[in-house]
Structure 1
Amino acid sequence: MLQSPVLTALNHLLAQADWARGRLRPFAGRQARIELPPLPTLSFAVDEEGYLRSTEEGGADVSIILSALPLLALGNPEQAFKQAHISGNADFADSLGFVLRNLRWDFEEDLSRLVGDIAAHRIAGLLTGLFAWQRETAARLGENLSEYLAEEQGVLLRPSEISAFTDDLNQLRADLARLEQRIGRLSR
């Protein structure tokens, strides 16, 4: 159900990235399975050209279980793959993981086929600027909220305050240990 569109999209990205197909070609005929609960399992094999072909679930050479769907949805595949459980052939898993982490869509190239090179470049620049603005705005909002909660409301502690508290606590422990030693010497 979901496998065919996903493989079509991945193959489209692979068509734009010769380096990725070159990295997968040595593993022609090998099968892989990617599980991303609650989505259906994705089973595929690498063909001689480095593209992915659908296969039936079964004896996979590599199994990757990703449990970080929110990280993928937020566009952070690196973090998602750090939390993945990978089993099977190490070389194939390494190459497959590298390709999946670093494969990027060149939307400007696809857009240029519809509207031309100049318009696609301008639209891509506009969209890139818009997304950068949104990321920057979200970062500033987070910084302002944390500053408000730390400075105005006193709900959060600044790192310097936590560090000072930790230093005071360590000093208190050392003083207590010295006091216990003195008491022990006096009681003897």
Structure 2
Amino acid sequence: MLASLLNRLLAHDHTSKVALAGYAGRVVRLVLPAFSGTLGIQPDGTLQDVDMPAEATITLSPSFFSTWLFDREAASRKVGLNGDEQLAAAIGQILSGVRWDMAEELSSLIGDVAANRLTWFAERVGGIPGAIGSRLLLELGEYWRDEAPLLARKQHVAEFCSAVDTLRDDVARLEQRLQRLG
């Protein structure tokens, strides 16, 4: 299932398929919060579900997706790489560049002109469903951070972490001092 989904996206991204083809014969496991799959990379740059041990594993934590909406750099730190980390990083980099072309998908159902107009309209009205969801999450995040403080600001978290580090260092120095005295 995972391979067919990714292959559908790769069908419109020749550059990513060529890049993946360079890793033909390699096996990676992709672990998402809802499902996972072991994927064999084919010589044509497509993926195939396989029942083999993976050389590398890429794990996306549940918090990856919500973090990605706000801070893509921080989200990249929530990706787990196991096994052959160079292979996992390379495949992760290739797959992160794959994008869904909604107009292309719709054109096979309703025609090119209608698909382009519908896509244009969706972007003007508020974006495709994924963008609407991300905007909603951004708005909720701002509300929870500013109006009903359930979330901390990045600066406040950094200040708190700095204070904890300072306290830890102070306690370590105090322990050393007590050991010398006692």
Deviation (angstroms), 1:54? 1.1
Aligned partner of 1:14 in structure 2 is: 10
User: Does the alignment pair 1:118 with 2:113?
Assistant: yes
CA distance in structure 2 between the partners assigned to 1:81 and 1:107 by the alignment? 25
Name stretches of at least 5 consecutive residues in structure 1 with no aligned partner: 151-157, 163-188
CA distance in 1, matches of 2:142, 2:66: 23
For 2:105 and 2:147, the matched residues in 1 are separated by 44
Q: Tell me if 1:98 matches 2:117.
A: no
Q: CA RMSD in A?
A: 3.7
Distance 1:57 1:20 in 2: 23
**1:72 match:** 65
Q: 1:128 to 1:74 in 2, by over 3 A?
A: farther
CA contact (8 A) 1:65 1:86 kept: yes
1:43 corresponds to which letter in structure 2?
T
Which amino acid is 1:117 matched to? D
- Indicate yes or no: 2:29 matched with 1:33: yes
Structure 1 pair 86–71 and aligned structure 2 pair: CA distance change class (3 A): closer
List gaps (5 residues or longer) in structure 2: 157-182
Judged with a 3 Å threshold, the aligned counterparts in structure 2 of structure 1 residues 80 and 144 are, in CA distance, closer, same or farther, namely closer
Farther off after superposition, 120-129 or 76-85? 76-85
1:61 to 55, 59, 62: 55
Shift of 1:92: 2.1
Normalising by structure 2, report the TM-score: 0.65
Give deviations 1:27-80, integer Å, cap 9, x for gaps: 10000012234x34310110000100111142x11112222x254378749454
Deviation at 1:112, TM superposition (A): 1.3
Would you say how many aligned residue pairs link Structure 1 and Structure 2? 151
Q: Which of 27, 51, 64 is the aligned partner of 2:46?
A: 51
AA matched with 2:14 = D
CA drift at 1:18: 0.6
Amino acid in the other structure paired with 1:82: R
Tell me, yes or no, if the aligned pair for 2:81 and 2:89 is still in contact at 8 Å: no
AA paired with 1:35? V
Q: Secondary structure at the match of 2:124?
A: helix
